[in-house]
Structures are given as C-alpha cells and as structure tokens.
Structure 1
C-alpha cells in the first residue's frame, strides 16, 4: 500500500513492463528468422542478436527480477562498504502478472496510489545498438515489438496506462510510417533513443534537416517524445580510453563510465538545439526520462557561453529553447527545486522507474523529496505537468 494518499492525482512518467520471450520475434518477418534467439549458456538463458550473445540484460526472460526499489539505499547513502551489485540488489523475486499484463498492473497501481503512468518496455533498450549496421533489421524488430506491445498492453489502457512504443529513425520514411501506425492505434507518447541515428552511411544526428518530415509529423500528431535512457553506444568511446572492446553492461559499471554517464543525453538535447530541430519545430514536446538532471545546469551554462560567442550559429537563444521544449524527470535524490529554478517547475516530471531496482518501491514517496516546493508546485510535478503534455 502507498505510504499515504495525496490530495492530487499522480501521473508517473517512468513505469516499466517486463517483456516475454516472444516480444521481439512474434511478428518478425520470416526473412529475419534467427536474428534474435534465446540460448542457454551455463544453465542460464541469454539473448543472442544475430548469433552474438548479449549480457546487456542479465536475465532477458525477466522470469526472475530484482525487487522494486532494491537500490534505494545505494542512491541515498552511496556504497561505503563496497558491496557488489548482487549484494546491493538483494534477494530477487519471480515476476508477477502486474509486470507482464495491463489488467493486474492497473490493480497494482491502485494499491500504490498511482492514477496514471507512462509504461516503457525494458528489453527495447538493447535493440538499435546491436543492429546498427542493418537499418532494415532495426525497423523490422522495432515494428515487431510495437505489434506485441499493442496486442498485449495496448497503447492507451483505460486512459490510465499509456504504453510507449519505440520509434527508430535510420530510414526516415519508415520512421514516419511507424509513427503513423502507432498513433492510429492510440499512442500518446513515443520512445526515441537519445543517441546518434545509425544508417548505411554511418551515424548522424536526428536533429538534422534530413529528419524534418518525421518531426513535422510528430508535431501534427501531438505525441510526446520521450528520450529514455538506453544503450547509446557511447561505451565504444569509453573502450577507446580503456584499451579494450566489450559490451556496455549497465549492471556492471566502472568508474570511468560512471563519470561520463550523462554524455548521451547531454549530446542528444544539445543536438536538438544546436542543429535547429527545436527552432524549426517549436511545438515539439520532449521529455527526458531516466536520465536524471545533474547535466542540466552545466549544459545551460555551455549553451549560454557558445551563444554569446557565436550568436550567428543559432536561430534563437538556445537557453530559452531548452526551457521551452525540454521537460525532465529528475531522480528522486536530486534537487527538484533547483531544477525548477533552472527550467521552470512546469517542466519537471515525477518518475519512479517502478518496478526497476533503481527506482522507488513506493512511488508516492517521491513527494517526500519535494520539500522546498509549494503544494501547488508539488501537484504540478507529481502529475499535473505530464497530464498537460499527454492530454493536450
């Protein structure tokens, strides 16, 4: 049960479902048979992408998962005892129907005191980076996943659970087609990976004019664009410094990568501004989810400095563009009042990351970290701001 009932409705910007084994493959065209497989390695099930085993998600079946909020103490006080990740996670649990199906999840939300939520897939975060040299395969797998999401969860379940389909951008025309497909079936938000877009000629920014037909259609549909934490591919840059090539493993971080953890979202937001997409399409609604907010103040400072020196490179003041278009869901342990001062409290979104171990076991306790805000502003952060974006 929630720790208390609040006087205003909660709209959680960061909830997750756990996919079943068939999520990526049930609707995958026959020509891609074998592109994604589940294999057994030393009595453990792993996912293999085009024959290469990935350790990105330790248990991709999600039959057994870490308990919600298992890492709360870690984020509250750090890790002074040097515990291993396994020790921090503690005793795991078997997945429950509420992690897999919308009906039981709605019942769980009632018990948690959450009225509405954005519902993100979990397995989706590994797709693009492991297929970046095959844009056609990326689009095929993304569409297969979206078909499964629509069949299993729907994109708008009882106007309370808004499942977020994935849109990948390597081939712009296919991205527009995918956007149209999900919107026609009720999607109110879409997930775009905050990373360079893979393509036949290499990677490039999704904010370049090449992608304007996609962003124009996003504006026309009114959907919210969620830049949710994913495998951005930046581990390759870290590998250049560390002298080794290995897959990015989010549950086995090291100090060097942790220091630069927010580079992908910094670059993604900066690209949207500096490459002009947010000035060409000022009505775009962008929500930064599960990327924290520690990067915001330094980025605002750098944008202001560059604009002062190179105003001719911008269509408008880049600091004001960020404050106009970018909404951010900070981690509970961050200074929400300070973030409100930087971008406006109307741009701050509550997100619990439930039921992931990095999130909150009791989502309503997020409000306990809004101590410097008025009751009116708490209501905005805990649900009013996201309701405005989704219901508009």
Structure 2
C-alpha cells in the first residue's frame, strides 16, 4: 500500500493514526445458542457428546459436552457477555481476580454471516480470520473423552461444527471473513477425509489443537497424508490459545488439576507454564526442527491469541539449540539453515494489544511475521480493530505499522486464491 493511502504518525509519546486497510488475525464467533449441534451431530452421539448450555445435575448452569461439564467455560445463564474491547478493564480484572462485568447482549454481527461482513466493512477490515467462540473451551474435554471412548465421537462433534460453518457461514466470505474449521490429528484417516471435504468447500485456513497426537510429533511422517492435502491447497494452519491436553499429565505431576476455571481455578503456575506460550512454542518449534516446511513449503502457520512476547527468546533459543544438537539425532534430517529464518518465512504470530511490539520487532529484526488481532468481540481485545495501532504500535515506523495492520496478513492469505499460496 502506498504511503499516501494511510495517515500514520508514531512516536513513543503519541499514538499512531492508521487509516489504511486492516487484516485482523483474530476475531471470533459468539455462539447465540447450540441448536445447530442438535441439527448437525447425529443423534447417536447426543448422550455423550452433544455440546450444550444447560443446568447440570447439581443445578449449576454451564457449558457441557454430553454430561461432562466444561469447567473452564465461564458463561452466564442470561446470555450476557462482557462488552467488546474492555482491554484495560480486563487486565485490571486479572490483577484483582474479578471478572469483567457481563452486561451486554450479543449483537447480530457476532452470530450471523451477513451482519458480520457488514461489521467488518464498518471497521475498515479488508480481511479477517474468524475463530470459534466459547466452543474453543470444549477442546480439552473433547480430547479427554476421545482418550477414554475413542476418537469417533470427537470426530463427529468437530464435523458438526465444520458443517455448521460450511452451511451457515461459508469458509471464505468474499475474501473478507475466513472461518476456521477444526482439524485434529487423533484419527489421521478421518482428518484426511475431513480436510479434503473442507478444501472442496473453500477452506483457506484451519485451526488445530497444539501439541503431539498419539505419541507422535505433529510433523511426524505418519501425518503426512493430511499435510499433503493442506499443502496442495495452500491452507494456513493456526494454533489458537486453548486447552493443551498434552500438558495435563505434567500438571497432575505437580499436584494440580487441569481444565479448571480460568478465572477461579487455574493457578499462576499453570498460567505461566501450561497455557498459551509454552505449548505453542513447543508445537511450532517442533514443526521447524522436523524440517516440516522443506517438505510442505506451501503451508503457512500462525499462532493466535498466545501473544508475541515469547517470540524473540524462542527464535534465539531455536538457533542456539540447533547448534547444540548439530551432531545429535534429527528425525527428518539436519536443517540447512537457521531455524529462525525458517520460522520467519513460514510462520506468523498475532501480538496482544498490550505487547511491546516495537521492542519485539527490534529484537527479532523484522516485522514481517507479526500480525495484529482485535479479538473482536471478546472483552480482552480492543473495541475496534483500528484501535490496535493505538494500543500496541507506538514508536514504530510507518512501514512496520502498515505491515502489521494489513500487509502481513494479506500476504499470508492473498485474495482470490483457492490453490497454492505463494
């Protein structure tokens, strides 16, 4: 984008004013209800697997998968939600242990396609990735139930969600809203068939759980049939913050319990070591070290809602540990270049509005792999995507602001492409 198309100014004391187009790397559906699961999930799975908001046997209202309560889903019976963009209030609430007041009703753009497209136009958003809403809280429970009962029921739930997206939203809405169907590695045969069906229905980006599956790293060749489908279609693979089931055994070893309420039950230690940063660092570093992008060069990856403060140290350590392991075992062969270079070329990271993005960019030497994300319509984001520049990009150059607010995202997901992403 030419500089004349945007008015920008950025100093340490003055917020940048950005008037150009936006690519929002983190937006969400706010589910109005879960009736669509009754429609798309075959009835034989309802007893043990149907996601629903309801009262449990103890009378408490909450989100359930079958009869299993999803403890880390904090929802209200009246359907009220915290208003979008209460970032400062949300951060203050984290410090006090309180919640941001749920005082707003979901608006139609949060749960209906045409209204969402209109809202993105109103915001000046040229492209956006739209993730699951509170349904993301079920990922941990689905994984545990799959371990207990086998993956068939989880596959059915994920397909029901994906069918809802295909039939009621569309996976690519005018190159403005890209919905994220869910894929998982627990059952590779199912994943391959699901991915083929999704590609046929226009999938441009998917979301997957972080970590290994069935005792294998995600880049293990056992999963190559799935990656080949995604590579051939140029699908962007994202890892959004969610329950990292592979951390559960570690949590229990330390005498703590996984899948507790984020606000009332999760300990500081779990926040620090078992949620968000470390799981995504381990996941993305594993892909790089397994020479994944040499085998599948058309796949791009993105970390979403895990912040970006971890990135400089992670890239430094990835390069250093490559040297430490130079004479060690490399599952898919020794790397031919620095891991950090591979990461910067193939991977993207959505920064938090509260991150010191200028410092992060200075430390890693480029803004090319950083994306903005409003988290709309969630409270912990910004009220409107354009506010991200004000919150996060002070002190940055006009070029870096343009890249983070728009160009990097659009390069990751070019318009009008249904095949290979360059």
What TM-score do you get using the length of structure 1 for normalisation?
0.89
Check conservation: 2:29, 2:131, Cα contact below 8 A. yes
2:304 pairs, out of 273, 282, 289, with 289
**1:365-387: CA deviation from partner (whole Å, max 9, x where unpaired):** 11122223222221111111111
Asked if residue 8 in structure 1 is aligned to residue 15 in structure 2, the reply is: no
Asked if residue 273 in structure 1 is aligned to residue 288 in structure 2, the reply is: yes
Question: In structure 2, what is the Cα distance between the partners aligned to 1:4 and 1:325?
Answer: 28
Give the aligned partner of residue 243 of structure 2: 231
Q: Structure 1: state its 5+ residue gaps.
A: none
Asked if residue 377 in structure 1 is aligned to residue 389 in structure 2, the reply is: no
Question: In structure 2, what is the Cα distance between the partners aligned to 1:115 and 1:4?
Answer: 20
Q: CA deviation at 1:331?
A: 0.7
Q: CA RMSD in A?
A: 2.4
Q: CA deviation at 1:58?
A: 1.9
Give the aligned partner of residue 318 of structure 2: 303
Q: CA deviation at 1:359?
A: 0.8
Question: In structure 1, what is the Cα distance between the partners aligned to 2:376 and 2:290?
Answer: 34
Give the aligned partner of residue 53 of structure 1: 69
2:263 pairs, out of 251, 259, 265, with 251
Distance 1:183 1:5, change over 3 A: farther
Asked if residue 22 in structure 1 is aligned to residue 25 in structure 2, the reply is: no
Distance 1:187 1:343, change over 3 A: farther
Give the aligned partner of residue 330 of structure 1: 351
Q: Structure 2: state its 5+ residue gaps.
A: 1-14, 415-420
**1:97-136: CA deviation from partner (whole Å, max 9, x where unpaired):** 1111011222322333323211111213423434331212
Question: In structure 1, what is the Cα distance between the partners aligned to 2:78 and 2:87?
Answer: 18
Check conservation: 2:251, 2:258, Cα contact below 8 A. no
For residue 25 of structure 2, give the secondary structure of its aligned residue in structure 1: strand
Question: In structure 2, what is the Cα distance between the partners aligned to 1:4 and 1:101?
Answer: 32
Distance 1:24 1:230, change over 3 A: farther
Distance 1:70 1:210, change over 3 A: same
Give the aligned partner of residue 207 of structure 1: 219
Check conservation: 1:138, 1:168, Cα contact below 8 A. no
Question: In structure 1, what is the Cα distance between the partners aligned to 2:122 and 2:298?
Answer: 36
Q: CA deviation at 1:47?
A: 2.8
Distance 1:328 1:245, change over 3 A: closer
1:120 pairs, out of 131, 148, 151, with 131
Check conservation: 1:276, 1:315, Cα contact below 8 A. yes
- Stretch of structure 1 that moved more, 227-236 or 61-70: 61-70
Question: In structure 1, what is the Cα distance between the partners aligned to 2:51 and 2:348?
Answer: 37
Distance 1:203 1:124, change over 3 A: farther
Distance 1:215 1:246, change over 3 A: closer
Asked if residue 107 in structure 1 is aligned to residue 118 in structure 2, the reply is: yes
- 1:159-174 matched pairs, under 5 angstroms: 159-174=175-190
- Stretch of structure 1 that moved more, 343-352 or 58-67: 58-67
Give the aligned partner of residue 363 of structure 1: 385
Check conservation: 1:14, 1:119, Cα contact below 8 A. yes
What TM-score do you get using the length of structure 2 for normalisation?
0.83
